[in-house]
Amino acid sequence: MLDIIRKYPRAIFYAVIVHLGLITIMVISFKFSDKPAAVASKDKGEEIVHAVTVDAKKIDKELKKIKAAEHKKQRELEQATKKAEQARLNEEKKLADAKKMRIAEQKTLEQNRKKEQERIKDLEEKRQQEEQRLEKIEQQKREQELRGKLQAEQERLALESNKQKQSMINQYRAMIEAKVRQNWNVPASAKQGMSCEVQVRLIPSGDVIQVQLTRSSGDPTFDRSVENAVQKASPLPVPPAESGLFDVFRDLKFPFTLEKKN
């Protein structure tokens, strides 16, 4: 109870004021009412008690809402604090790891320098040259193997990325065609299998800025109905700019065929 009072002092204060006001009204009503109106006073008293009960319920309900909102804010604050703390810890860890790596690299370099000096001092020139030659050959072999693995991995990732991009492109093309068809009023002169091709110029918002017929169906009415459908369907669904795929849809060309006439 004390925790609720500390967290919501203003709500508790208002609740107490409302209750005191209602109790004062009840006391005054009972004190100054006439005896012949005893029955009416009793009814009014019951109404006041009922009002007090209702107000108390409303206040409790509001307190619960306030408490729930405060709990929600507290959870959000705790989550944000936790994320910030985790980010700080991650950054500190990165800096610590970088420092360790730098120290290790310096130590390794120093050790290699000393070893190289000892090797130059102790080994004969011919043996030194041979070892250097063999080391160079081995290093080249390792580098070649590493380059091969890296290239294979890059090709695999590129292929996978291209597959995902093509899948997304196909999905958006299908959504665009579906929306155009929804806005297409098929002319009476259209026949099943009739087809034309249009080129649509779009902006990143999906709005159509130009529709150009690139292959006619042979029926001007059919061609115009397709162009009108594209304009009516604007804006068309296009990939978000951050996906890097919008350039594919900037100048979109696709065939439009009447598969089946209703």
- Domain boundaries in the chain? 1-122, 123-262
* pLDDT computed for residue 48 by the predictor: 57
* pLDDT computed for residue 39 by the predictor: 45
* pLDDT computed for residue 37 by the predictor: 47
| pLDDT, one tens digit for every residue, the chain (262 residues) | 556 556 666 666 666 675 676 667 665 554 544 444 444 555 655 665 566 576 778 878 888 888 888 888 888 888 887 888 898 988 889 888 888 888 888 888 898 788 887 877 777 888 889 888 888 898 888 888 888 877 877 777 767 777 888 999 999 999 999 999 999 999 988 888 899 999 999 999 999 999 999 999 999 999 999 999 999 999 999 998 888 889 889 999 988 898 876 5
Provide the whole-model pTM. Answer: 0.41
DSSP string, 170-208: HHHHHHHHHHHHHT----TT--TT-EEEEEEEE-TT--E
- Answer yes or no: CATH 3.30.1150.10 is held by domain 123-262: yes
* pLDDT computed for residue 16 by the predictor: 61
Close Cβ partners of 48 (under 8 Å, ≥ 6 residues apart): 22, 25, 26, 29
* pLDDT computed for residue 212 by the predictor: 94
CA-closest candidate to residue 187, choices 141, 224, 154, 237: 224
* pLDDT computed for residue 215 by the predictor: 95
C-alpha separations of 250 from 177, 181, 194, 256 in Å: 15, 20, 26, 18
Query: 3-state class of 236 per DSSP?
Result: coil
